[in-house]
Structure 1
Amino acid sequence: MTETLIRITDSAQEYLRDLLSRQDQDGIGVRIFVERPGTPHAECCMAYCPDGEQEDDDVRFDYEGFHAFIEGKSVRYLEDAVIDFKKDSMGGQLTFRAPKSRVPDISPDASLEERINYILYAEINPNLAAHGGNVQLLELTDDNVAILEFGGGCQGCSVVDVTLKDGVERTLMEQIPELTGVRDKTDHTVTENAYYQ
């Protein structure tokens, strides 16, 4: 592809070329993706990607002397991203700025996970914040059960079951009919910050 999605500065390209040249594998590149995209907890990640280990929906971008695969589902979250490298007395630091990585993107083709995260962060967490609490999606099972973890004032709270059943589960199941269930995986024995004890 000639058009690039992520701007990798000259200094970052030089750093990556040098780093990749020291690997013992021909054709090794990098794979760039976003963990928990569209949420406040989004993290931009980069990993080595030996030839043949890219995913089918990854998008390849060629830079001078190396290539990068962008995870297909992360592409829209990496628009306008910049990877830079600043030298310093300790050697230097690679920085990754992706302004759209934390912005919920609920397009018509959004995944089930993206839709759950959008509802959690746009509707449910603002209500839980009044009690100093929050909830996040840990995983989505193969049979579409959302595994959640509560934090802050919700962890160890004596009414968390009511919050889960009457608030979180009802809201998610009404808005996302494909969900087959919602489970709490929080360790509620920790009660020091609980809203109600």
Structure 2
Amino acid sequence: MLNITITESAQQYLGGLLAKQDCEGIGIRMFVTDPGTPKAETCIAYCRPGEEKEDDEVMELTSFKAYFEHRSLPFLVDAKVDYADDKFGGQLTIRAPNSRMPQVNDDSPVEDKINYLLYDEINPGLAAHGGMITLEEVVDDIAILRFGGGCQGCGMVDVTLKEGVEKTILEKIPELKGVRDVTDHSDRSQSYI
């Protein structure tokens, strides 16, 4: 059972948008980008026939189907999509109070585990120097990271990466083989050291 609410007014509004697409069977797809991090964004996109994913959860609504990305489900608990008329025509709002909450368990995707570690353990330590690290992607079990803020161009970044970040990530996420930094450290304008 999905714990996600799409109000009647939101269904009418979205149904009207979908009808204008002139595509039989079109629905919506809801997902969270960067789930469990401060950058999390809850998104609604058109979902044309064939664009559904095999593990999507489906909600049958009156005039269309809503598809929910499986990976995003824990972050969409208690989410509410609403539409309210106003003097400018109206506004669709999406409230997903759990989208930025780290929710990680043994079955979570490796990206979620990395984001949780960065958010909960690694970035708070780097924040004192105005730095932060974000996950770009995971390729062949290698975490591709980007250093930002005071970390970019810092002369100590190799030590931080090898002795701190990589050691912590590989210790806590054994399915990874390594960590790589893709930051351009030749720009030293924001660096801490």
Where on the TM-score scale, by shorter chain, does this alignment land: which range?
A: over 0.9
Q: Distance in 1 between matches of 2:84 and 2:185?
A: 43
Indicate which of 164, 182, 186 corresponds to 1:185. Answer: 182
Structure-2 residue corresponding to 1:50: 48
What SS does the aligned partner of 2:58 have? strand
Letter in structure 2 aligned against 1:108? D
Letter in structure 1 aligned against 2:103? D
Gaps of at least 5 residues in structure 1 are none
Letter in structure 2 aligned against 1:82? K
Cα RMSD (Å) of the superposition?
Answer: 1.2
The number of residues matched between the two structures is 193
**Is the CA contact (8 Å cut-off) linking 2:2 and 2:77 kept in structure 1?**
no
In the TM superposition, what is the alpha-carbon distance from 1:166 to its structure 2 partner? Answer: 0.8
Q: Distance in 1 between matches of 2:87 and 2:138?
A: 44
Between 79-88 and 118-127, report the one with greater CA deviation: 79-88
Gaps of at least 5 residues in structure 2 are none
Letter in structure 2 aligned against 1:159? M
**Aligned runs of 1:110-149 on 2, under 5 Å?**
110-141=108-139, 143-149=140-146
Q: Distance in 2 between matches of 1:52 and 1:24?
A: 16
Q: Deviations over 1:23-50 (max 9, x none)?
A: 1111100011111111111111111111
**Aligned runs of 1:13-92 on 2, under 5 Å?**
13-92=11-90
Letter in structure 2 aligned against 1:144? D
Q: Distance in 1 between matches of 2:174 and 2:107?
A: 15
Spell out structure 1 runs of 4+ moving beyond 6 A: none
Structure-1 residue corresponding to 2:149: 152
Letter in structure 2 aligned against 1:102? R
Aligned-residue identity in percent: 55
In the TM superposition, what is the alpha-carbon distance from 1:173 to its structure 2 partner? Answer: 1.1
In the TM superposition, what is the alpha-carbon distance from 1:189 to its structure 2 partner? Answer: 2.3
Structure-2 residue corresponding to 1:10: 8
In the TM superposition, what is the alpha-carbon distance from 1:60 to its structure 2 partner? Answer: 0.4
In the TM superposition, what is the alpha-carbon distance from 1:80 to its structure 2 partner? Answer: 0.3
What SS does the aligned partner of 1:99 have? coil
Q: Distance in 2 between matches of 1:154 and 1:119?
A: 17
